């Protein structure tokens, strides 16, 4: 069969700011599972700057038997549009949607969009492969674990598929089917890898740990090195981003991977994520020697009260120590901070934003607490009737969708904007940017911050002086 896998056209905030987007590895994994028996094509609409009219031409030209779409919550309306477009072109085409959003809302998804035939829930590789075989046979869908579909206007949710115990069984992503030439930042080609799945922690806002399970599962070092070698030698990718939720979760494994990177003389420059409580001087030094340049920490808040509420199981002091350790070894530090939790007050947010500037991170990401379907925050929002909208496009982490006790939606948005301005427009940040980063912030972040400030200037006074 002909199988078309699509990342839909959508409005990408990341691409607006940094000028690029990462490859949809989830589709590349699905392609690798079925490409030996079928003709598979991937369309990354975001990277290729495709609009729906462009995508329509591609669908017509390929004439697929199956169209599979991946989407996060904010992208789901665009996924719906892709399935509608596919059915308008060929009413007999089978449409499949997967990803974190539909995993936790399969019934609502099928009700909202009548053009979807099947929903793949959870870890999708083996469910998708089995679904394709079942489509060929034309029967047996009720036996495909992890699958949801409609029958006689009723949603059927088959039992969830067990997690893949040995993730080395999954073939490497089909990088050759991705438009690799489009993945570059500031003129530098980059690649992305996922070396592990699952997270045993229980943060209130995280859906990734729910979709891929609470059990951490990592690729073998040989598999990791093979994938890195492919990106480096076959695709010329020297800049690599490790997309693991927590790359440093298993410290011996990190040391083994970094050792092999040096032994194989891969000559790569890379970034990875860590919890502040799974980081150490030994890990930092090993990463730096193997080519790492930046470590991303989920710091989230500057108050213990909020850290306890979200289930982060860390302290501000641990964050400060890990950042200091990373910087001593020469690693850049990137910290993520979240504001706008339901019980947060002005003092809490003020401490978080102050902490972001004092803790020593080189770069900061600020977002608004967003209750993604399936998370503990989602169920809390439903129970307490805190959701202000079910417009999925607004579930971006940049738009407020929760009713807050101490802030209006307008106020929390203004605070977010000012947080970016006050962090990045500090003289020491700009001077370092010019010297070390060749003015990346000046060219990218500052114009965006100024634009936000000018667009939202009216009404800033309602919270700027008192809170941040």
Q: Is the pLDDT of residue 454 over 80?
A: no
3-state secondary structure of 299: strand
Quick: pLDDT tens for 132-152: 999 999 999 999 999 999 999
> Is 333 inside a domain boundary?
yes
| CATH number for the domain that contains residue 241 | 3.20.20.70
| CATH number for the domain that contains residue 102 | 3.40.50.280
**79 vs 69: CA distance, rounded Å:** 6
Mean pLDDT (whole number) for 285-314:
97
Q: What is the pLDDT of residue 458?
A: 40
Q: What is the pLDDT of residue 463?
A: 39
Parallel, antiparallel or unpaired: strands 332-339 and 239-242: unpaired
| In a shared domain, residues 129 and 270 | no
pLDDT band at 20 (very low <50, low <70, confident <90, very high): low
> Is 54 inside a domain boundary?
yes
Q: Where in the sequence is the domain holding 125, given as residue range(s)? A: 2-157
**Residue 363 contacts by C-beta under 8 Å, 6 or more apart in sequence?**
294, 332, 333, 334, 335
| In a shared domain, residues 200 and 349 | yes
pLDDT band at 349 (very low <50, low <70, confident <90, very high): very high
| In a shared domain, residues 127 and 217 | no
> Is 401 inside a domain boundary?
yes
| In a shared domain, residues 231 and 334 | yes
> Is 55 inside a domain boundary?
yes
Contact 335, 297 (CB under 8 A): yes
> Is 168 inside a domain boundary?
no
The DSSP element (H or E) to which 379 belongs, if any, is helix 376-383
Mean pLDDT (whole number) for 218-222:
98
3-state secondary structure of 406: coil
Among 237-241, 264-268, 438-442, which is the least confidently predicted range? 438-442
The mean pLDDT of the chain is 91
| In a shared domain, residues 133 and 42 | yes
Supply 68's token pair.
């599979």
User: In angstroms, how far is CA 393 from the centroid of its own chain?
Assistant: 16
Contact 9, 59 (CB under 8 A): no
> Is 449 inside a domain boundary?
no
Prediction pTM value = 0.91
Contact 175, 40 (CB under 8 A): no
List C-alpha distances in Å: 326 to 299, 335, 424. 14, 12, 20
| In a shared domain, residues 360 and 227 | yes
Contact 163, 217 (CB under 8 A): yes
* Domain finish residue from 114, 139, 157: 157
Q: What is the pLDDT of residue 468?
A: 54
> Is 320 inside a domain boundary?
yes
* Domain finish residue from 113, 140, 157: 157
> Is 423 inside a domain boundary?
no
| In a shared domain, residues 68 and 6 | yes
| In a shared domain, residues 191 and 117 | no
Please tell me the total count of domains within the chain. Answer: 2
pLDDT band at 452 (very low <50, low <70, confident <90, very high): very low
| In a shared domain, residues 130 and 197 | no
Q: What share of the chain has pLDDT > 70, as a percent?
A: 89
Dihedrals phi, psi of 250, to nearest 5 degrees: -105, 100
**156 vs 151: CA distance, rounded Å:** 7
């Amino acid at each position: 069969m002909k199988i078309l896998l699509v990342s839909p056209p959508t409005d990408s905030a990341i691409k607006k700011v940094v000028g690029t987007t990462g490859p949809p590895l989830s589709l590349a994994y699905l392609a690798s599972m079925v490409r030996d028996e079928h003709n598979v094509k991937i369309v990354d609409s975001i990277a290729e700057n495709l609009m729906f009219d462009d995508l329509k031409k591609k669908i017509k030209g390929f004439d697929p038997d199956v169209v599979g779409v991946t989407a996060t919550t904010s992208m789901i309306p665009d996924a719906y549009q892709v399935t509608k477009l596919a059915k308008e072109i060929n009413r007999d085409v089978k449409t499949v949607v997967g990803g974190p959003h539909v995993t936790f809302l399969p019934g609502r998804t099928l009700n909202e969009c009548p053009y979807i035939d099947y929903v793949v829930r959870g870890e999708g590789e083996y469910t998708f492969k089995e679904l394709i075989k079942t489509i060929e046979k034309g029967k047996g869908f009720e036996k495909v674990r992890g699958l949801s579909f409609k029958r006689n206007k009723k949603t059927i949710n088959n039992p969830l598929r067990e997690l893949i115990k040995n993730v080395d069984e999954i073939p490497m992503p089909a990088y050759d089917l991705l438009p690799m030439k489009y993945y570059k930042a500031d003129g530098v080609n980059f690649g992305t890898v996922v070396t592990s799945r699952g997270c045993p922690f229980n943060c209130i806002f995280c859906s990734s740990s729910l979709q891929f399970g609470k059990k951490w599962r990592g690729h073998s070092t040989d598999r990791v090195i093979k994938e890195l070698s492919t990106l480096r030698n076959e695709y010329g990718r020297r800049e690599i981003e490790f997309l693991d939720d927590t790359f440093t979760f298993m410290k011996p494994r990190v040391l083994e991977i970094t050792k092999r990177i040096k032994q194989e003389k891969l000559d790569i420059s890379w970034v990875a994520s860590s919890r502040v409580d799974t980081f150490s001087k030994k890990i930092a030094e090993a990463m730096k020697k193997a080519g790492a340049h930046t470590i991303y920490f989920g710091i989230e808040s500057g108050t213990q009260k909020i850290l306890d509420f979200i289930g982060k199981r860390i302290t501000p002091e641990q964050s400060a120590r890990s950042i200091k350790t990373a910087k001593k070894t020469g690693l850049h530090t990137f910290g993520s901070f979240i504001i706008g939790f339901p019980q947060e007050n002005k003092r809490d947010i003020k401490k978080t934003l102050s902490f972001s500037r004092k803790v020593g991170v080189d770069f900061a990401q600020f977002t608004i607490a967003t209750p993604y379907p399936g998370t503990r925050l989602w169920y809390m929002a439903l129970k307490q009737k805190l959701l202000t909208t079910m417009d999925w496009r607004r579930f971006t982490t940049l738009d407020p969708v929760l009713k807050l006790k101490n802030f209006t939606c307008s106020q929390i948005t203004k605070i977010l904007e000012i947080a970016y301005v006050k962090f990045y427009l500090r003289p020491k940040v700009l001077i370092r940017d010019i010297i070390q980063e060749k003015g990346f912030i000046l060219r990218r972040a500052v114009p965006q911050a100024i634009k936000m400030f000018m667009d939202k200037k009216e009404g800033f006074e309602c919270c700027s002086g008192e809170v941040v």
